[in-house]
Amino acid sequence: MSNAAPASKPKITEIEGFGIDTIPDSARTSTPWDLFRIQFGGANTFATVLLGTFPIAFGLSFWQGVGAVVLGVLVGTIFLMPMGIFGPRTGTNNAVSSGAHLGVRGRIAGSFLSLLTAIAFYSISVWVGGDALVGAFVRLFGATDSQGLRIALYALIGLIVVVVVVYGYQFMLFVNRIAVWLNTVLMLLAVFAFSGTFDANFAGAPTELALGGFWPTFILSALIAMSNPISFGAFLGDWSRYIPNGTSNGKLMLATFAGQAMTLIPFIFGVATMTLVTGGDYVVGLIGAAPSWYAYMIIIVAFVGGLSTGTTSLYGTGLDFSSVFPKFTRVQATIAIGSVAFIFIVVGRLFTDLLGAVNGFVGAIVVTTTPWMIIMAIGFWNRRGWYSPADLQIFNKGMTGGRYWFSNGINWRAMSAWIISALLGLQFGYYPPVIVGVWSGVAGGIDLSLVVSIISAAVLYVGALLIWPEPEYAFGPKGPRIGRTAKGNIPEVK
Say what the pTM is: 0.84
The predicted structure's pLDDT at residue 350: 63
Number of residues written out for the chain: 494
Which residues are 431's β-sheet partners? Answer: 435
Encode the chain (494 residues) as per-residue pLDDT tens digits. Answer: 434 444 455 555 555 556 677 888 888 888 999 899 888 877 877 778 889 999 999 999 999 999 999 999 999 999 999 999 999 999 988 988 999 999 999 998 988 888 777 777 777 777 777 877 887 788 777 788 788 888 888 888 878 777 766 665 566 666 666 667 777 888 889 889 998 899 999 999 998 998 889 999 999 899 989 988 998 888 888 889 989 998 999 999 999 999 999 999 999 999 999 999 876 678 778 888 888 888 888 877 777 766 666 666 676 666 667 666 666 776 777 788 778 777 777 776 666 666 666 667 778 888 999 999 999 999 999 999 999 999 999 988 889 999 999 999 999 999 999 999 999 999 998 777 677 888 987 877 788 899 999 999 999 999 999 999 999 999 999 999 998 999 999 999 98
The predicted structure's pLDDT at residue 13: 52
DSSP E strands: which ranges in 103-220? none
Question: For the chain, what are the domain ranges?
Answer: 33-369
CB-based contact 48:199 (threshold 8 Å)? no
DSSP one-letter string for 381-429? HHTTT---HHHHTTGGGT---STT-TBTTB-HHHHHHHHHHHHHHHTT-
SS3 487: coil
Q: How many helices (H) and strands (E) does the chain have?
A: 20, 2
The predicted structure's pLDDT at residue 341: 76
The sign of the dihedral angle between the CA atoms of 414, 482, 448, 79 is negative
The domain defined by 33-369 folds into: Hydantoin permease (1.10.4160)
| DSSP code at position 445 | T
The predicted structure's pLDDT at residue 356: 66
Name 146's Cβ contacts closer than 8 Å, sequence gap at least 6.
none
DSSP one-letter string for 78-90? HHHGGGGSHHHHH
Counting other chains too, the contacts that 136-143 makes at CB distance below 8 Å and 24 or more residues apart are 136/287, 136/299, 138/284, 138/287, 138/288, 139/287, 139/288, 139/295
Q: Comparing C-alpha atoms, which of 237, 305, 179, 259 is closest to residue 18?
A: 237
The predicted structure's pLDDT at residue 225: 93
Q: Comparing C-alpha atoms, which of 71, 441, 439 is closest to residue 219?
A: 71
CA Rg value for the chain = 22
CB-based contact 90:22 (threshold 8 Å)? yes
The predicted structure's pLDDT at residue 312: 66
Looking at residue 104, its amino acid is: V
Cα 242 to its chain centre, rounded Å, is 19
CB-based contact 180:44 (threshold 8 Å)? yes
Q: Distances from the Cα of 176 to the Cαs of 15, 40, 215, 303, 373, in angstroms?
A: 17, 8, 36, 13, 25
| Alpha-carbon span 401 to 391, nearest angstrom | 8
The predicted structure's pLDDT at residue 168: 59
| Alpha-carbon span 259 to 261, nearest angstrom | 6
The predicted structure's pLDDT at residue 16: 54
Cis status, amide bond into 432, omega within 30 of 0? no
The sign of the dihedral angle between the CA atoms of 96, 100, 104, 105 is negative
The sign of the dihedral angle between the CA atoms of 276, 282, 283, 285 is negative
